[in-house]
């Protein structure tokens, strides 16, 4: 499968979401979409990132933008995480990594000298026509959501 490219339409995909059988990206055509990939639920950095998107969610909504988080964790884990931190957006489960591969965020990582495969924290902005217009890869959480919101406002 090809990976997404800036300036190109993002292929439709369907993933499991809490409380739903599945969620398809095509349901959001006509709205801007921010998709952020994160390694796992309920870890300190992933929690900071999710809570930052939560805190800005109203502003994203004002700009007709839907925020979605994606990780390999299962739906039950996502449901607990969303409930614990009152996350107002969908968290999608990608256990077979198909969408992670589509966005090329499943990479070899290194921590304390140990190498392993995992999700590289990344964010993608899709316009109302379904075209990828901006990407941020290997991000640092502090100040990131503000940069994403500014990009949303600029398109």
Residues tagged active-site = 46
Contacts of 121 (CB under 8 A, 6+ apart): 36, 37, 38, 39, 45, 49, 138, 139, 141
Count other Cβ atoms within 10 Å, centred on residue 83: 10
Contact between residue 72 and residue 119 where contact means Cβ atoms under 8 Å apart = yes
Tokens standing for 27?
Answer: 């349901």
């Amino acid at each position: 499968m090809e990976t997404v490219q800036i300036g190109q339409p993002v292929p439709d995909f369907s993933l499991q979401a809490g409380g739903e059988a599945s969620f398809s990206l095509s349901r959001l055509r006509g709205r801007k979409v921010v998709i952020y990939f994160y390694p796992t639920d309920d870890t300190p950095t992933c929690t900071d990132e999710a809570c930052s998107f939560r805190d800005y969610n109203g502003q994203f909504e004002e700009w007709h933008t839907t925020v979605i988080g994606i990780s390999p964790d299962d739906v039950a884990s996502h449901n607990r995480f969303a409930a614990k931190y009152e996350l107002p957006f969908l968290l999608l489960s990608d256990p077979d990594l198909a969408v992670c591969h589509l966005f090329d965020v499943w990479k070899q990582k290194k921590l304390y000298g140990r190498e392993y495969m995992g999700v590289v924290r990344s964010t993608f902005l899709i316009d109302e026509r379904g075209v990828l217009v901006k990407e941020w890869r290997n991000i640092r959480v502090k100040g990131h959501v503000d940069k994403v919101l500014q990009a949303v406002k600029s398109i």
